[in-house]
Amino acid sequence: MASPVPRSPRALSNGVVAVLLLLPGLGLLGLVSVYPLVASFITSLSNESLVYPGRTFAGWANYAAVLDSGFVDTIWTTLVFTTGATLVPFVVGLALALLLDMRVPGRNTLRGLMLLPWVIPGVVVSFLWSWIFNSNYGLLNELLGALGLPSDHSWTGDVSTAMLTVIIAKTWTTFPWVMVTLLAALKSVPVEMLEAAQIDGATRWQRIWRVKLPQVRGVMLVVAMLEIIYNFQHFDIIYVLTGGGPGKATSTLAIRIYDEAFRGFDLGRAAALGFCGLVLLAALFTVYRWLDRRVEGQNA
């Protein structure tokens, strides 16, 4: 008598297979993203110090404390820096991208040279610009003195110019990636559209304004939003160049969080400040998504 043929195991459904394949990635995401977020939120509701061991529940006291201790001024300073450090390199990068998109002699060499500030670490950039802005032996004051102008100004130590110095330093290290990204987008504009506009009598400026820029509007929006997110939480150049000073002139949210955690040793308040910043970033992202959908609707 022939033995019965063994039944093959039931095949897993596509949905189960998909879940099994996603589990390692979801586990890694939870380990590096969700867990620190939850742990930080618990810390923001606790009295925890770097100096004294232990943790006690504080409720919303840390949030009330940070909101009553110059939080509005900190956010205003952060928004001023974010606006300047986003708008200026964006304009410079867009202008250079449009220039290099033309048939300029030596444009490949220029493109490579302009990428150098982008690859230099932020701390090195900070020390470079702190030397340039130094009130005693800085290059800027030396140039002003050579021109017969006042040459003893403390650029990073003056409330009226400290924010300008960090924006200039951040612009110098940021504009190359804005330029490269927008230049790549400009290169993707169909040549046929430009030729048709030229046949219709459009000038070079009209071809840029009415053909090229509308075609790369989505990329421009993404670049601007990424820059806003990066600058909102930027730390290294501000910390090395001014340390948040003079006074609180350049004390952005990232600097304030550092001061609360590693100078005031109050981890609870630092975590509360971080979550307040997270809420603001979420609001900015919501605005970005709304603008992105409008742009997609206009391009459809």
Concatenate the DSSP letters of all residues of the chain into one string. Answer: -PPPPPPPPPPPPHHHHHHHHHHHHHHHHIIIIIHHHHHHHHHHTEEEBSSS--EEE-TTHHHHHHHTSSHHHHHHHHHHHHHHHHHHHHHHHHHHHHHHTS--TTHHHHHHHHTHHHHS-HHHHHHHHHHHT-TTT-HHHHHHHHTTS-----TTTSHHHHHHHHHHHHHHHHHHHHHHHHHHHHHTS-HHHHHHHHHTT--HHHHIIIIIHHHTHHHHHHHHHHHHHHHHT--HHHHHHTTT-STTTT--HHHHHHHHHHTS-BHHHHHHHHHHHHHHHHHHHHHHHHHHHHHHHHH-
- Find tokens 């004390």 and name the residue: 251
Query: What b/e sequence results for 1-24 when a residue is b if at least 16 CB atoms lie within 10 Å of its CB, and e otherwise?
Result: eeeeeeeeeeeeeeeeeeeeeeee
To the nearest whole percent, how much of the chain has pLDDT over 70? Answer: 95
Question: What pLDDT score was predicted for residue 12?
Answer: 61
CA–CA dist 264, 253 (Å, integer): 15
> 1 pLDDT exceeds 50?
no
> 9 pLDDT exceeds 70?
no
> 8 pLDDT exceeds 50?
no
> 292 pLDDT exceeds 90?
no
Strand partners of residue 48? 55
Question: Crossing angle of helices 71-100/107-114, nearest 10°?
Answer: 160
- Which residue type, as a one-letter code, is found at position 181? T
Average pLDDT of the segment spanning 167-178 = 94
Any idea what the Cα angle at residue 204 is, between residues 198 and 208, rounded to 5°? 100
To the nearest whole percent, how much of the chain has pLDDT over 90? Answer: 39
Question: What pLDDT score was predicted for residue 10?
Answer: 52
For residue 243 the two structure tokens come to 């340390």
Q: Which residue ranges form the domains of the chain, and what is each CATH number?
A: 63-299 (1.10.3720.10)
Phi, psi torsion values for 91, nearest 5 degrees: -65, -45
Average pLDDT of the segment spanning 182-205 = 86
260 band by pLDDT with thresholds 50, 70 and 90: very high
CA–CA dist 230, 113 (Å, integer): 24
> 17 pLDDT exceeds 50?
yes
> 107 pLDDT exceeds 90?
no
- Find tokens 């820096």 and name the residue: 81
Q: What are the pLDDT digits (tens) for 127-163? A: 999 999 988 888 998 998 888 888 888 899 899 999 9
> 300 pLDDT exceeds 80?
no
